[in-house]
Amino acid sequence: MTHSTFDFENAAGRQLSGVLERGDGPVRAWAVFAHCFTCDKTSLAATRVSRALAGQGIGVLRFDFTGLGESEGEFGRGLSGDVQDVVCAAQAMAAAGLTPQLLVGHSFGGAAVLAAAGSLESVKAVAVIGAPFDAEHVLTHVGPALDDVAHGRRVPVEIGGRAFELGADFVEDLRSHNQAARIASLGRALLVLHSPVDEIVSIDNASGIFLAARHPKSFVSLDQANHLLTRQVDSDYAAAMIVAWAGRYIDSVANAVEPPLQGVRVEETGAGKFQVRVVTPSTTFLADEPASVGGLDSGPTPYELLSAGLGACTAMTCRLYAERKGWPLERVVVEVGHTARTASGPDRFLRKIAFQGDLDEAQHVRLLEIADRCPVHRTLTESATVETQRLPDDRPDAGVKTCVEDHLHRMEAVCADGDDG
């Protein structure tokens, strides 16, 4: 599982703080998650549901609404402000090549995504968890503090044990929204998830949403779950239901990856500026650049992969040699760093190795010598050539011919030579 910072501006030019969640495999589609009224992107529901979705192939942006969490601006602009924030989040994702097709909203965030969907052509499905039927529902948790408050004045209120300042403009905004009409004209697939024992937003709200909506619509009961989804099993279940349901309505942004029969295939994902998918006959993962240079920080950099190759080869070769000698080597740990070439010297890899086990000093010294003779070390320090050809019709084929046993044979040769050294 990987995550990266994704900040963007709201309609007023304020900076909103977001986090992009991705799983270890390819991203099939993108989504925006809107948190509950006084929560933020770090709430249990926001974090767990987003990560569970990401783990099943749906990348998610979870973000702080204006004035909450790490986002700039003033909280309490009503539903209109939250709707604008959701729209801005989706537009920022689309600009980064991560166009969302799914909106997920929890509690008041559900009201926001129901209202925002109509402004986002790319959105094909909306899922709401514990959402109120109308925006005014939130006023039941404010109490009489906002009754008869003068226009332009803000008063302190307490919601969920947290202090906020709200005013008449907040109340007026909530009352200006016709959620029933919006839901009826949603024009997207809708999934309503709600707990029958929700004590914050009653199950009657789910009934109202479901009855107002037109097909395609579905309902999932979150039995025994509380409103905030504080149990991991409930958030995981909600995410699993969303993934299974959404699969009927959203398009895959990454077609099924057919692995090459041999060699390695590297292809752009279309996400961000640098992100690529690395596909081998046995696995798939992402490579990228850090956010500080314009990447998404979603995977190792090319030089980190090169360092990983050196580290992996080092550990494997030392293991093979120790077993050949019958030495009590329990574990090998290799750390590798890379420094770019300078005017006075070539690229430099610094490799640090730990040999754990009941080894004497001579064995430690010998294993270090073997490390300096591992196949990848020799490839980097001796010689190699790169031949470049164009793929026929510019389409991936079965792969580039590779001898998969070559690395093992070379390690065995190093170990055999080490016996004589």
pLDDT in tens, 303-340: 999 999 999 999 999 999 999 999 999 999 999 999 99
User: Do 191 and 241 meet the contact criterion of CB atoms below 8 Å apart?
Assistant: yes
Q: How many residues make up the chain in this entry?
A: 421
Angle (nearest 5°) at CA 407 between 259 and 319: 115
Alpha helix (H) ranges present in 276-405? 302-325, 361-371, 375-381
Listed residue (46, 51, 49) closest to 62, CA to CA: 46
Q: Which residues contact 197 (CB under 8 A, 6 or more apart)?
A: 223, 224, 225, 226
Give bridge partners of residue 280 from the DSSP assignment: none
pLDDT of residue 152: 64
Cis amide bond preceding 216, omega within 30: yes
Average pLDDT for the chain: 89
| pLDDT digits 0-9 by tens, 255-314 | 445 678 888 989 887 777 898 888 888 887 889 999 899 988 888 999 999 999 999 999
pTM given for the model: 0.65
Residue owning tokens 């929560």? 39
> Which helix (H) or strand (E) covers residue 335, if one does?
strand 329-339
pLDDT over 50 (residue 383): yes
> Which pair of structure tokens corresponds to residue 257?
């990856």
End-to-end CA distance of the chain, in Å? 44
Does residue 18 register a pLDDT over 80? yes
Rounded-to-integer distance, Cα 213 and Cα 262, Å: 50
Sign of the torsion formed by the C-alpha atoms of 354, 356, 359 and 360: positive
What is residue 420's predicted lDDT score, i.e. its pLDDT? 67
What is the SS3 assignment for 312?
Answer: helix
**Phi, psi (deg, nearest 5) at residue 403:** -90, 105
pLDDT in tens, 99-131: 999 999 999 999 999 999 999 999 999 999 999
Please compute, for residue 325, the number of CA atoms within 13 A of its CA located in the half-sphere on the CB side: 22
Distance of alpha carbon 112 from alpha carbon 36, whole angstroms: 10
Tell which residue, 30, 3, 50, has the closest CA to residue 252. Answer: 30
Query: According to the model, what pLDDT value does residue 168 have?
Result: 72
State how far the Cα of 254 lies from the Cα of 27, in Å rounded to an integer.
Answer: 7
